[in-house]
Amino acid sequence: MNILIVVDMQNDFVSGALGTPEARRIVPAAAERVAAGIRRGERIFFTRDTHGADYLHTREGRNLPVPHCIRGTEGWEIVEQLRPASAGQAILDKPSFGSAELGRLLAEENEKELIEKVTLIGLCTDICVISNALLVKAFLPEAEVAVDAACCAGVTQESHRTALAAMKSCQITVEHEALPL
């Protein structure tokens, strides 16, 4: 079985409080990758960065004092271009960069049917994508873990490239790295 994980493709990371031009540029490629995954029969999971109204009083909020992805707000929602594809798929709300729940869920799925490959796309390469890729690698050490660089964006282009290099050194396959962002 092959899995596609769509990491935090939410309004606040694309066009909202923490949006960037790089994030806006990858939305069409991410939407096409999800559509291709559906056509190929991949299992698809979405993660959603999720904070409460007390965000500024959390450790993350004290280090990044920009309220974002507050549960129930428009910024918390999956971007419009991916919302139809997310209907009926597993959406995992996560309070931090990585999702231990995702790792446990994948390990359970692997017990039922062998997971051969897990591909991650989304935002931000240097924070949540790398965190979840490493978690997946820890929970599924025998599965191929890949990141589609053409469907990811970092906080900056430099931090995106740095995260891709770090993932490569951890035996995570980086696909489409040479494509421009």
For 83-142, give the DSSP string: HHHHTTSEEEEESSSS-HHHHHHHHHHHHHS---EEEEEEE-IIIIIHHHHHHHHHH-TT
This prediction has a pTM of: 0.96
**pLDDT, mean over the chain:** 96
**For residue 31, what pLDDT band results from cuts at 50, 70 and 90?**
very high
Q: Give me the mean pLDDT over the 11-40 stretch.
A: 97
Dist CA 59 CA 62 (whole Å): 5
